[in-house]
């Protein structure tokens, strides 16, 4: 296996130290805050979208209310699953001191 691209996210060289200090460490150390913020934003968007669907349904301007509701529910479930997967992945694979290496074959 040949490494085509290798990124050092821990900032051992001078050129990429900002990635570690400004992105990787704050995100990894505050993952629970990031996930809770994203859940809060999703909840607000879900309420606004549900209100829009409800008002269109009551005014009669929407012919596909069931499809709008199913797309709304599928979007919320997909976002929650992706966030839970991200949280589990970050817990199982923390960024180590050696950085992250991306291998493209």
Residues of the chain with pLDDT under 50: 15, 102
Residue 50: its pLDDT value, please? 92
pLDDT at 43: 92
The per-residue pLDDT for 81 is: 93
The pLDDT assigned to 60 comes to: 87
Show the 3-state SS of 1-33.
CCCCEEECCCCCCCCCHHHHHHHHHHHHHCHHH
């Amino acid at each position: 296996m040949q490494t085509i691209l290798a990124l050092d996210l821990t900032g051992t060289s001078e050129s990429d130290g900002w990635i570690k200090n400004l992105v990787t460490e704050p995100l990894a150390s505050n993952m629970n805050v990031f996930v809770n913020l994203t859940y809060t934003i999703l909840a607000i968007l879900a309420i606004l979208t549900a209100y829009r669907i409800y008002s269109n349904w009551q005014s009669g301007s929407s012919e596909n209310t069931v499809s709008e509701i199913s797309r709304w529910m599928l979007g919320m479930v997909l976002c929650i699953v992706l966030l839970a997967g991200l949280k589990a992945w970050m817990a199982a694979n923390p960024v180590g001191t050696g950085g992250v290496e991306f291998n493209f074959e």
